[in-house]
Structure 1
Amino acid sequence: MGSKTILFLSIRIPIVVGNIAKKGIGGTAMQEVAFHPLLLVVVLAFAVPFVLEHLRIIRIPVVVGEILAGLVIGKSGLNVVTADPWLDFLATFGFTYLMFLSGLEVDLEGINLSRVNNKRPQIARLLTGALLYFVATLILSFLIALFLWQQKLIKNPWLLALIFSTTSLGIVVPVLKERGLIDTSLGQNILISAVLADFLTMFLTTVLVALATTGPTHEVLLILVLFVAFFLLYRTGLVLSRLPIMRNLAGATSEIQVRGALATMLFFISLAQELGSEIILGAFLAGVIISLLSRRGSSLRLKLDAIGYGFFIPIFFITVGSQLDLAVLVHSHTALILVPAFLVSAFLVKVIPALFFRSYSNLREKLAAGILLSSRLSLIIAVSTIGLRLGAISETTHAAVIIVAIVTSSLSPVLFSKLVDPGRPKQLKTLIIGASEAGLVLAQRLKNRHQHHVVVVDHDPVRLAKGKDMGLTLVNSDATTYQGLEKAGITEATAVVAATGDDAVNLRVAEIARRQYGIKNVIAFLNNLRNTQVAEDLGIKVVTPPLSTLIVAENILVHPETFSLLRDEPEDTTFEEVRLRNHRFFEQRLKYINLPGDVLVVSIIRGQDRIVPRGNTLLKKDDLLILMGNRDSIKEASRQLGAV
């Protein structure tokens, strides 16, 4: 390229850009855009996470902080943000993008149906229970809404019933994962109930709005076209995702996966508009498609989250806060009744149905499930915003709904954590299949030295009697059957050890525990070395007694002192594995962390990597820390590091 050409471009490009800014791309006059309101909103969005990070009393969701920031600059505060068409457009797009990410949160891989025995009757029972829970919630919500309507406190009982029936997948899923409950029976019941509540509320809201705007006409049936498009586009996506060119264009400036995801979202939004239905259902279905076509934690999901939560969604929530008029609540007699009534109802409609379901094993679990499912955020604000736009709810009702979203999203996770982990270390439940000599000794050591809740399963009366003399918990059952394992409590087990002395039986039991019940920590005692590869391919850890004896002898000869440290472990000294969950320690250097007593971090496991800890080693979320120290100090360190 010659120097004259470069000079021409350097002069011409700014002129073209300037003309576009003044006249628009088509050459017509374009209204000057004021960026000041957007700048203020974006700066607030940047500042909110920093402020919330320093709040130690209660962990407030970032989106709640954004609503509160909007209150400060909006009608209820400084009133420095006025109506702006560009800001309104970005907020509207943020609203639809939020519904898109809500669909993306529907992680069907997270629904581990293997925990329910992988049998169709069991799966049907689980889904039926979640559906009945939603129906009970909806009926109870409608009765409360009908009472409020009869008292002339609200305009539309149907829409308010749907508002009460919502839940927040965006809160439920992270809380269950942080507490390590996502794969448990409790976690799976809560997760499926939340997924159904999100989808059915979205669908029923779309139907209700269609009936309210067009009446009971054939146009309501056009909503089904969205589902036809969903299946067609999903099948198309499956084909396209397997093409080599999709992988080649996935990075750099092409970002074909991101472009495809956004095109899918806008297609469904446009289709919903053409069909005369609410765009939230279209955006939600688009998110579900991308969820089905991509893995959780994939780069595509991270990029989509970054686009939404980094820009568009904060604009929506700050705008919601800025448009909220708290003066309506303060000076309204109706509001003084609605706010406490809504808050009490928000918890009652979720907790009361949970108390009557057998899916949860005890009263504490039932209360915990109902309270976590009471958390509401994105969807409740979305439905309320739609109702306000249609005139189905008043400004006062809308303001009260926002207060409910703020309170429940902040309070529910805290109460749930208190109920499922009431300040004491969780006792691990280990099933030992086979009351063999090795099985009984292992059970006794786990119980006495590590405080595990151990259950030994066998059906031989002589071996059971020996275990009873040792003070162990025993179950007389055939562990090679599903019924026998469930009688022993395998659905609540965190680990299974197959130690019967028969390789075939051990392999079968271990395979059932690993595949059918999704238990990650499964150990099989195998005498025949040829069986070890089969077990390891199934994800089963193997102990081979003959080989283990040789390894012990080898370590005594080669590393006598190190081996004696493990063998002759003092009564008050122990090793412990702790998963780092406490956000206060994320990205902190080890030398700046004061662990209690004599606790040492002897190793760090991060993914597939084993790290030798040093003073400058940075700790990261979900690191597995191997701790050594006296028992009391280890318990305290585990509580601190694993606290959520």
Structure 2
Amino acid sequence: MENLAFLSQIVLLILIAPIFARYLKVSIAVVEIVLGALVVWVGFIESGNELFKDIAKIGFFYLMFLAGIEINIKKFISFKDKFIKNVLIYFSCLYGISFLLYFVFELNPVYIVAIPIVSLGMIMALINEHGKKHKWLELSLIIGVIGELISIAALVIFDATVAHGIGEELYKSIIILVVILIVTFYAFKGLNVLFWWFPRLKRVIMPDNDNMSQDIRVSIAVFFILIAIMQYLHIDMVLGAFIAGVFIANFFEHKVELPHTLHRVGFGFLVPLFFIYVGTTLDLDVLFTQEIIYTASLIVIAMVLARMASSFLAYRKYLGTRDTILFSFGDSMPLTFLIAIATIAVNNNAIDLNEYYAFILAAMIEAIFIMILIKVIMANIKPSIQK
């Protein structure tokens, strides 16, 4: 009964979060984190509920599942525009800068993964608000897809590193990861052939006229099965959730409304639980201290400048100055993955609580102020005409 009462209090936060987000015109994820921190600070709820922690973890996995749903493999492979050739330059520069900062300033190894991390979440929010008609946003989506794949791999390796250290277990995890990716690649090719030979099979699995929600049942089943497989293999379960999303998005495209339905299920309940849980782990008395604000500011500056340098090197000729700056800012808001890295690191004692708070605050600063900055630039500076 205590858990039921606790979850009832959390549901109230889920209910009021969109109202505050709409009124304040900020990301709802940021509002949910702040609400989670506030209710613990004022004593409305107590932190440390194990059931809430477990459900929040499922919420995070579901968020990664939704990220996978955003990836259209066929469209991505067929995209032959010239800026694809510069992807290697962009990411090499981005990761090169993160390694350089790590060595020069003798940073925690966590920063090697955190500074170049990419997430589709806020990019999708930008596309939802401004549409894909802008060249820099179209590029942001392509880079976001590639970056998210790299980031998923980085998260898996990072999780294994902080959990087991550099040694036999890490190498074993990397080998298993590579094998999983190879098996996934050939499984997708095999399924593509299977569905080509038996096109009606898709509609047997997910009928067009479905009054029993079979499409949702299949999606959730695939989600949990792949998570369970990753858990059995001792690989970060994020990868299983992500692959499940890619599978659903690319083999059942006849179910046009399914991604929207799965998004509503996720963002209506499971995903908010994760962000509220993140908020409940914060101590507001510590979060806004001078030391943490200073560290968070440095993290934001490092992430933005690293992307700015990489973007100008790779895409300045294609986008022009104004759109290159917008692209850099659009790629500088990896809210969910930055929080994920901080959570994994603090749970494995790779960083202390102060650094954890700094990462969370940095993620919130990026989500709020960079979104505002993008709006200001788009409203007041006209794009240059590319020849």
The correspondence for 2:246, drawn from 263, 288, 305, is 288
Alignment check: 8 A CA contact 2:162 2:345 kept: no
Alignment check: 8 A CA contact 1:111 1:191 kept: no
1:99 is matched with which residue? 64
Write the distance in 2 (CA, Å) between the matches of 1:88 and 1:114.
40
Q: Which has the higher contact order (CA 8 A, sep 6+)?
A: 2
Write the distance in 1 (CA, Å) between the matches of 2:277 and 2:128.
30
Write the distance in 2 (CA, Å) between the matches of 1:46 and 1:287.
26
Instruction: Say which structure is richer in helix.
Output: 2
1:219 is matched with which residue? 172
- Secondary structure at 2:204's aligned position in 1? helix
Alignment check: 8 A CA contact 2:47 2:281 kept: no
TM-score, length basis structure 1 = 0.54
Please tell me the residue identity of whatever aligns with 2:314: F
Q: CA deviation at 1:356?
A: 1.8
1:201 is matched with which residue? 151
Encode CA deviations 1:147-203: one digit per residue, 9 max, x unaligned: 44x3xxx6x32x2221111233122134235434x2554333222222222111210
> Cα–Cα, structure 1 residues 296 and 308, in superposed 2: closer, same or farther, change >3 Å?
farther
- Secondary structure at 1:83's aligned position in 2? coil
1:298 is matched with which residue? 256
- Secondary structure at 2:380's aligned position in 1? coil
Q: CA deviation at 1:337?
A: 3.4
1:131 is matched with which residue? 88
Write the distance in 1 (CA, Å) between the matches of 2:176 and 2:35.
40
TM-score, length basis structure 2 = 0.87
Please say if 1:141 is aligned against 2:98.
yes
Write the distance in 1 (CA, Å) between the matches of 2:373 and 2:255.
28
2:292 is matched with which residue? 335
2:229 is matched with which residue? 271
2:136 is matched with which residue? 186
Alignment check: 8 A CA contact 1:347 1:374 kept: yes
Please say if 1:168 is aligned against 2:150.
no
Alignment check: 8 A CA contact 1:101 1:305 kept: yes
Please tell me the residue identity of whatever aligns with 1:197: G
- Secondary structure at 1:70's aligned position in 2? helix
Encode CA deviations 1:11-37: one digit per residue, 9 max, x unaligned: xxxxxxxxxxxxxxxxxxxxx552111
Structure 1: give runs of 5+ residues left out of the alignment.
1-31, 117-121, 430-487, 490-644
Please tell me the residue identity of whatever aligns with 2:205: M
Number of residues of Structure 1 aligned to a counterpart in Structure 2: 377
1:84 is matched with which residue? 49
Write the distance in 1 (CA, Å) between the matches of 2:138 and 2:260.
24
Please say if 1:65 is aligned against 2:31.
yes
- Secondary structure at 2:319's aligned position in 1? coil
- Secondary structure at 2:314's aligned position in 1? coil
- Secondary structure at 1:206's aligned position in 2? helix
Bigger radius of gyration: 1
Write the distance in 1 (CA, Å) between the matches of 2:375 and 2:75.
20
Q: CA deviation at 1:232?
A: 5.2
The correspondence for 1:43, drawn from 12, 16, 22, is 12
> Cα–Cα, structure 1 residues 361 and 310, in superposed 2: closer, same or farther, change >3 Å?
closer
2:304 is matched with which residue? 347
Please tell me the residue identity of whatever aligns with 1:251: D
Q: CA deviation at 1:113?
A: 5.1
> Cα–Cα, structure 1 residues 39 and 340, in superposed 2: closer, same or farther, change >3 Å?
same
1:370 is matched with which residue? 328
Matches within 5 A, 1:219-258: 219-220=172-173, 221-231=175-185, 233-234=187-188, 235-236=190-191, 239=195, 242-243=200-201, 244-248=203-207, 251-253=210-212, 255-258=213-216
Alignment check: 8 A CA contact 2:66 2:245 kept: yes
> Cα–Cα, structure 1 residues 213 and 90, in superposed 2: closer, same or farther, change >3 Å?
closer
Encode CA deviations 1:211-258: one digit per residue, 9 max, x unaligned: 4444443522011232244235534476387324234486222x2222
The correspondence for 1:384, drawn from 330, 335, 342, is 342
Write the distance in 1 (CA, Å) between the matches of 2:246 and 2:311.
27
Please tell me the residue identity of whatever aligns with 1:43: L
CA-based RMSD: 2.9
- Secondary structure at 2:350's aligned position in 1? coil
> Cα–Cα, structure 1 residues 295 and 77, in superposed 2: closer, same or farther, change >3 Å?
farther
Matches within 5 A, 1:396-411: 396-411=354-369
Q: CA deviation at 1:115?
A: 6.7
Encode CA deviations 1:320-365: one digit per residue, 9 max, x unaligned: 001112333445x642531221121121111121122245332112
> Cα–Cα, structure 1 residues 81 and 294, in superposed 2: closer, same or farther, change >3 Å?
farther
Percent of matched pairs sharing the same residue: 23
Matches within 5 A, 1:458-473: none
Write the distance in 2 (CA, Å) between the matches of 1:338 and 1:306.
35
Q: CA deviation at 1:69?
A: 0.7
Alignment check: 8 A CA contact 1:141 1:165 kept: yes
Runs of 4+ in 1 over 4 A off after TM superposition: 108-115
Structure 2: give runs of 5+ residues left out of the alignment.
none
Please tell me the residue identity of whatever aligns with 1:66: E
Write the distance in 1 (CA, Å) between the matches of 2:85 and 2:39.
46
Please say if 1:419 is aligned against 2:377.
yes
Encode CA deviations 1:527-557: one digit per residue, 9 max, x unaligned: xxxxxxxxxxxxxxxxxxxxxxxxxxxxxxx
Write the distance in 2 (CA, Å) between the matches of 1:177 and 1:110.
19
